[in-house]
Structure 1
């Protein structure tokens, strides 16, 4: 296996008593809901790189795994290490079913996110994210030259982020990564939580006339069980150098580094700058304005990684030559045997990859967020119009709900994927509902945790990948039955200059 390369670069906000963390060559992207789960992140971290877990919907993930009987006992093992055993016991009492729920039985609902999520919902969010990071880090200290563990959150899912990040910090997370918006308030959130103080971020409220916030109070949640936690490094996921320069100028909002994500990257991506234009296939058209100037990125002086079509050894070498520390890669790891994808979707994806028939569409309408979203075209999934149209419109997980200010000044919540009549009743525009897909339920189905309803309906999968399949095509030729995360790492590093060496700091 090629030696992982890590470069130590100073950051302006690192205090004297804050550990300087390694800067790995490869960041394994944070993908979907638990596709980048703890098993995948652990393998990447033990190999000396940055393994990243998804911070999206971990409250739903842990609740459903527990209802399935927690095979292997992993989440129960993590909860046994949670600082507050009172919280851990409440979560187990509510959701754990010995031997798993009966087939066809719906999963229990969990508290919905709001600007002021109920205490039970906050506890579940903190515990779920703690467990995912704790499992990814388990035994890492026994691996000399091991890397770090990060958590990826979406700026658009604001109502989940404070509790998700607190849970990750309680488990000793090394990095927080965030994109799908402008994460200018995350550095201060991390500083507040590291100090044991309430942490807040602003909430985007449609039609709102007042500033609203989302807050988590570590001392109130954990009381005397609250331990001292370290501030993780923060990597802002951006698409253009102008945003990087804006975030860098002010020390209060300055991240510790950047991931520069190009349009082909999977999941949500930034819309094209200027007026949205679509090509003949109905996909957004990107141009030179949507590409970061890498010379200007290097001038900023903070470490940065390239993402979006950097899935081959020559592209990794190209990124290093341009001044990047390394690259962030998602698709190779999503398709690996260590990811959280269920066997069915993975087998279907690899089968289409072998026959050179796998395609990924950048759908400008799929996501209720309004951001373009990459969808793999697969039979029998919500990527197909007939499957999507057959699904009853409902919004029960509600992670992508938009808060809005009602006429009476109170806060309501709506999602462009909910029943159209309900969305209109809440003041939404009917045009915003066209083509919107339920990402929340589709992404849960991808990992084998899709909801089953009493009428027999089971949620369909909706798989997201990056549009760059060059690296995946090369790996399927080498490993026709599929590959591991370590094999993907070896492949990516084949052209990494040996003279860069291995330079970690504690």
Structure 2
């Protein structure tokens, strides 16, 4: 247990985007082209539960679950969530249990199974590399998600939106079959809080031999890379260096937050990594944020990078998990020059700026945002806090304002916050239907650099495949 694979280094890393945008068909297609296909590891327990309730078209989820080493665990999930032929129209999804610092057995099982299934499907039938992307801000889901991905044979784990100093050791321990522990950031805490998962406790005698994946820390500054590099126990196997225009969550600008006339954070040269300093660390690194063209790939390699991480052109490709209607709306906006992506400093409950595409009928519109009843039920982005009595509670800046303030949150902290969890599920056709008749609306995230996507659309007006996207990126590169 715990051995490393011998791996080639990819030039292109396909971004791990949204909830199931980087779905397994996309990751698999990129991997089959000899590059690193990446599954989004966010909310895969919910994606599994809702996919089963939608009838598991094609039987893919059940095919993956049939390969899981504990079939009794699988049967519990199928008994609870699988609906032959799919839910009746207008029927709400049955909720899956939320993950906490000390999660229930049911929550752990769905997280392990969801991550296993999507990694397994991405790796099915070929020997290419497959990664999974986690958010550091979604800490309580990480131990069980990592275990599921490792059992599924994942080759790389990537993590951003924070300082992932404990992930290397977590992966080492889980791959060796030992309990893996993660310190959880708890607001107002007077003591250390940790979350632990024991592979033997979860799988018992069915625990297979496991292999440790490589870990890539997603960072924005060379100073953070230097901090993580200095100690072997927290040192990653490489870095993804993201610039401010990269999609999804992005690091806030250094210093006092200043907004432009459109309400977007203003970044400066202080917010850019020193690539010479990155090269001196001696670990491979990939550049992200406006590297979605062949020329930019060549520039990255010339600067000493191992390659690039690219999201937007893959988010818009045929194999992406975004619904066909949303993809068509995005491509139409791209074609006529009306597509705008804003870096919203308030959208995410995490407090990190978040890129949102301005689209009709989504939460990017002020009236649609105002019309949505505030609630938090998926709870991936909520933060734990310590109560006066020492117990732990949970709050989310996108939940009802009175509830958030009652839990010690600030009124100002709720302004403009969007329920990204429910919105991102809607992006991929898994939005909740409420019993009061409300259907959750999307909030679509993309990177702000659209040059590569425009050029691909010019070449492929009806849309493009992941294979075509990889070929476009590598047009100026000779790949061994």
After TM superposition, the score normalised by the length of structure 2 is: 0.99
CA shift for structure 1 position 219: 0.5
Task: Quote the Cα distance in structure 1 between the aligned partners of 2:293 and 2:417.
Answer: 33
SS of residue matched to 1:187:
helix
Task: Quote the Cα distance in structure 2 between the aligned partners of 1:403 and 1:51.
Answer: 32
* Alignment match of 1:50 (pick from 36, 39, 54): 36
2:115 counterpart of 1:134: no
Q: Which runs of 4+ in 1 moved over 4 A?
A: none
**Match of 1:331?**
312
* Alignment match of 1:124 (pick from 110, 116, 127): 110
Task: Quote the Cα distance in structure 1 between the aligned partners of 2:266 and 2:434.
Answer: 39
**Match of 2:476?**
495
**Match of 1:300?**
281
Task: Quote the Cα distance in structure 2 between the aligned partners of 1:74 and 1:111.
Answer: 23
**Match of 1:5?**
none
Contiguous gaps of at least 5 residues in structure 2? none
CA shift for structure 1 position 229: 0.5
Q: How does 1:5-154 map to 2 (within 5 A)?
A: 17-141=3-127, 147-154=128-135
* Alignment match of 1:393 (pick from 374, 384, 389): 374
Task: Quote the Cα distance in structure 2 between the aligned partners of 1:334 and 1:165.
Answer: 23
Q: How does 1:78-477 map to 2 (within 5 A)?
A: 78-141=64-127, 147-477=128-458
Task: Quote the Cα distance in structure 2 between the aligned partners of 1:408 and 1:360.
Answer: 44
1:448-506 CA-to-partner distances (Å, cap 9, x unmatched) read 0000011211000100000000000101100011000010111111111x3xx41xxxx
After TM superposition, the score normalised by the length of structure 1 is: 0.94
Task: Quote the Cα distance in structure 1 between the aligned partners of 2:64 and 2:188.
Answer: 41
1:351-384 CA-to-partner distances (Å, cap 9, x unmatched) read 1011111110000000000000000000110001
Task: Quote the Cα distance in structure 2 between the aligned partners of 1:361 and 1:215.
Answer: 38
Contiguous gaps of at least 5 residues in structure 1? 1-14, 142-146
Task: Quote the Cα distance in structure 2 between the aligned partners of 1:194 and 1:130.
Answer: 14
CA shift for structure 1 position 20: 2.3
1:265-301 CA-to-partner distances (Å, cap 9, x unmatched) read 0000000011111111110010111000001111100
1:418-463 CA-to-partner distances (Å, cap 9, x unmatched) read 0001001111100000000000000000000000011211000100
